[in-house]
Amino acid sequence: MNTPLTDTQTRISIRRRTARWDNHPAVLGDGLDFWSSGAAAANVVMQLARPGVGYGVLESPVESGQLMRHPWKRARTTATYIAVALLGSDADRAAYRAAVNVAHRDVHSGPDSPVSYNAFDRDLQLWVAACIFVGLEDCYQLLRGELAPEQVEGFYRSAFPLGTTLQVRQDQWPATRAEFDDYWNAACARVRIDPPVRDYLLDMIGLKMITPLLRPGWSTLLRFLTTGFLAPVFREQLGLRWSPGRQWCFEHLFLTVAFANRFIPQFIRQAGSYLYLFEVRRRAKRGIPLL
């Protein structure tokens, strides 16, 4: 049995972050400010660091959902799922669940797969949902300040639809935030990025799926942000280097971004997520496939 890791190995360490804006009740959907997209690639790394997810994505026969062939569609699909899960109604979630289930039905291991996996595996889905929660929580606290003690449990419970919008049962989620931390540290001990998945992820970070004309500068920025948003256990598995100087730059970048974020109205900060949700409702109403 794998020995659980510690918070210093499984979570990013931020020494300086912005002061809190207020002490109103906080929910995970508040973390959907457009700046959070800077953590998207890191979250893909986290999710695929579980072999069942990594090989499931690598070997997926669903051509339209393959990141390296359809990067914008794949990114839009993931962002739409998060918007539906956190901002949508029960009807929105049911419609999107049905659409995702159709895409997932052919995603399962075959006789030559290195590991056994199935896209309907509730444990793997919980891992993916937990990764998204951790990533959004990191973004929220970088942009809006550390959660107050009285906000922590409500913020955590608001994440449950990230899993329950698919097959994860509500009672599968650890009941309290402290129990989630135990789950997360134990689950991270099972992280393993094999060479084929590592190559895939490094190609993603290097923006190998887009025209070479756009790679210079953008790939450097993406690598910096991705590494900054990854806890040590993921950095080590991917072979990414980090340093105190880069950590200082990362923290001060988000201190600046968080200051600017205070003056941007919420309907602008989160416009993208609401547009994705609007598009799902429009397609559902007209009978257009959601994926």
Contacts for 110 with CB less than 8 Å, ≥ 6 apart: 59
| Chunked mean pLDDT (size 10), the chain, 291 residues | 87 93 87 93 96 93 68 84 96 95 92 94 97 97 93 97 96 97 97 96 87 77 96 97 97 96 92 96 93 85
User: Given this model, what pLDDT does residue 215 score?
Assistant: 75
**What's the confidence (pLDDT) of residue 1?**
56
The Cα 38–Cα 125 span in angstroms is 23
221: buried, middle or exposed (CB in 10 Å: 19+, 13-18, 0-12)?
A: exposed
The whole-number pLDDT of residue 25 equals 85
Among residues 176, 166, 130, the alpha carbon closest in space to that of 28 is found at: 130
Determine the Cα–Cα distance for residues 144 and 124; give it in Å rounded to an integer.
Answer: 30
- Are 177 and 11 in contact by the 8 Å Cβ rule? The answer is no
Alpha-helical segments (H) within 149-243: 152-157, 161-164, 177-188, 195-205, 218-228, 232-238
- pLDDT at 65 (0 to 100): 57
CA distance 245 to 139: 20
Dist. CA 227–CA 242, nearest whole Å: 7
pLDDT of residue 74: 78
Report the C-alpha dihedral over residues 165, 92, 147, 46, rounded to 10 degrees: 50
Determine what percent of the chain falls in helix, strand and coil, rounding each to the nearest 5.
65, 0, 35
- As given in the structure block, the two tokens for residue 273 are 């997520």
Owner of token pair 């887009």: 210
Length of the chain: 291
How many Cβ atoms are within 10 Å of 4's Cβ, its own excluded? 16
Amino acid, single-letter form, for residue 188:
C
- Please give the Cα distance from 131 to 44 (Å, whole number): 9
Q: Residue 219 and residue 227: Cα distance in Å, rounded?
A: 12
Q: What is the pTM of this model?
A: 0.95
pLDDT at 212: 74
